[in-house]
Structure 1
Amino acid sequence: MAEDGLSKASILDAAEGALRKFGLAKTNMSDVARALGVSHAALYRHYENKAALRLAVVERWMGGVFEPLGAVLAEEAPPETKLYRWLSALREFKRERARQDPELFAMYAALVAETAGALEGHARLLAEQLAGIIEAGAASGAFVCKDARQAAAGVFYAFTRFHHAAHAAEWDTPESEAGFEAVWQLTLRGLGAGS
C-alpha cells in the first residue's frame, strides 16, 4: 500500500490482524506497518504511539454497539419496552462478540483494562442514550424520576455485570439470565414504572 493512500480504517484493520497474529504483548507498530507494506513512520502520522493505536482499535470495536442500540432507539415502543430492549441489545452485542471470536474478545478486554480512559467516551454515549429513554418515559408518565441523567447512570452501573468484559465468563450461565431479570425488575421499581 502506498503511504499516501494510508487510511485510519486500513491501519485499524491491520492492527486487529496483528493483534490476532502476535497477541497483545508482542504486537508493535512495526508489525502493523509491515502488514500494510509501509514504513512504521507512516503510522506515526496517524497515531502518535502504540497506546494511541490500541485505544483507537478499542474505540472502533466498541463503537459497533451503536448500530443495534440505534435500531432500538428508532422503534416505536413504550418506554419500558424500549429500555428493556436497549439493555438486552447491549448485553447481546457483547455476548456475541465474546462467542464469535473469544481470542480477539480477550485481547479487547485486556486492552480496555490497560488503556486508561478507553471506556469514558463510550460510557458517556451509552449514558446519553439511556437518559433519553428515561426522559421520554418520565415525560409520558411511564417513569417517575426527577433526574434522568442520574437515573441513567444508576441503570447503567446496575447492569454492568451483563455487558462489561470483566464479567464475560459469567454471561452464558443460567444465573446470569436470572440476574438480568432480577435487576430489570428492580430497575422498573426504582424508576417508578406503573406508579
Structure 2
Amino acid sequence: MTDLEAGREALLDHVEALIAQRGGVSITLAELAAAAGMSPANLYRFFENKEALYEAVAERWFAPKVRAMEEVLASDLPIRQKFYAFYARRLGMICDDYARDPALFRSYLELGQQHIEIVRGFIDLADHFLAELIAEAIAEGYFPGLEIDSAVSLVNLMLQTFCDPELVVMLIHSVSEEKLAIVVDTIFDGLRGDRPSNVRRLTRAAR
C-alpha cells in the first residue's frame, strides 16, 4: 500500500468515526480535515472534492460484496449453486454488518440515499454480474423463452428482499439463507417465458 493509499484509508476511518458520532449527516471536507488534524489544503491531496470522498466511502462499503460476487462468478460451482451463492454471501455480509453495529449500518443507508447516484453505479454492477449468471443459466437450458434483460428484471423482483440492505434490515427476522435457497430453487424450477397463454389467462382472471 502506498503512502497515498494509506492516507486515504486513515481518512476513511475518520469518516466512519464521524458517521458513528453524528449519524447519516453529510460530512464536509473541512469537517473531515478538522477531525483528521490536517489542513483542508492537505486533504485535497487525497480527495479532490466531496464527490470523490463519497465515492471512496461507497467503494469501501461495497468492496467486500463486489469481491464476493466476482469470486462466485469465477467459481466452478454448478449454475444453481452459483446463483444461490451469489445472493447468500451478500446476505450474510449484510446481516453481519447490521448485527455488528445497527446504528452505524442505518447511518450508512441514510448517506446512501443522499448520494444515490454513486450507489447506483454499484447496483448497476451487480445487475451486470447477474446478467452474466443468467446468460450461463440460459445456455444450460434454464429460463426458456426469456431474454437476458427480462430474466434479470424478474429475478431482481423476486430476490430483492435478500440483497437490498434496507429491505434486509426491515425484514431481518424473516429473511434467511434457507428461505433464499427455496426461492432460488423455485426460480430454477419454474421461471420461463415460453407459455404466453398462461400469462394471458392469469391477467384476464385478475381483471
TM-score range, shorter chain: 0.7 to 0.9
**Residues 168 and 175 of structure 2 are in contact (CA less than 8 Å); yes or no, is this contact kept in structure 1?**
no
Superposition deviation, residue 84 in structure 1: 1.2
Amino acid at match of 1:92: G
Deviation at 1:18, TM superposition (A): 2.0
* Contact 1:162–1:176 (Cα < 8 Å) also in 2: yes
Structural RMSD (CA)? 2.8
Equivalent position of 2:91 in the other structure? 91
Cross-structure match for 1:119: 119
What whole-Å deviation, never above 9, does each CA across 1:130-170 have from its counterpart, x for those lacking one?
11111111112244254223312331232222222222434
Say whether 1:54 aligns with 2:54.
yes
1:191 Cα deviation (Å)? 4.7
Between stretches 8-17 and 128-137, larger displacement belongs to 8-17
Structure-2 separation of matches of 1:39 and 1:8: 15
Larger of the two Rg values belongs to structure: 2
1:181, distance to aligned residue in structure 2 (A): 4.8
Q: Percentage identity across aligned positions?
A: 24
| Counterpart-to-counterpart distance in 1, 2:150 and 2:7 | 39
Separation in structure 2 between the aligned mates of residue 5 and residue 58 of structure 1, nearest angstrom: 16
Closer/same/farther in 2, CA of residues 86 and 30 from structure 1, 3 Å limit: same
Q: What is the letter of the counterpart of residue 42 of structure 2?
A: A
Q: Paired residue for 1:19?
A: 19
Deviation of the 1:107 alpha carbon: 1.0
Q: What is the TM-score when the length of structure 2 is the normalising length?
A: 0.75
- Alignment check: 8 A CA contact 2:84 2:180 kept: no
Cα distance in 2 between the residues matched to 1:84 and 1:191: 18
Alpha-carbon distance, 1:185 to partner: 4.2
Residues 150/60 of structure 1: CA separation in 2 closer, same or farther (3 Å cut)? farther
Query: Counterparts of 1:103 and 1:172 in 2: how far apart (Å)?
Result: 14
- The yes-or-no answer on 1:141 pairing with 2:109 is no
Partner of 1:155: 155
Aligned CA distance change for structure 1 residues 99 and 16 (closer, same or farther; 3 Å): same
Change (3 A) 1:88 1:128: same
Count of residue pairs brought into register by the alignment: 188
How does the TM-score come out when normalised to structure 1? 0.79
Is this contact kept in 2: 1:127–1:149, CA < 8 A?
no
Structure 1 residues 36 and 191, CA gap change in structure 2 (3 angstroms): farther
Q: Note if contact 1:84-1:184 (Cα within 8 Å) is conserved in structure 2.
A: yes
Query: Separation in 2 of the partners of 1:26 and 1:87?
Result: 30
Q: Which runs of 5+ in 2 are unaligned?
A: 194-207
RCO higher in 1 or 2 (8 Å CA, sep ≥ 6)? 2
Aligned equivalents of 2:73 and 2:5: distance in 1? 36
* Unmatched runs of 5 consecutive residues or more in structure 1: none
Listed one character per residue, the Cα deviations across residues 73-113 of structure 1 (whole Å, up to 9, x for unaligned) are 22212211111111111211211111122222111111112
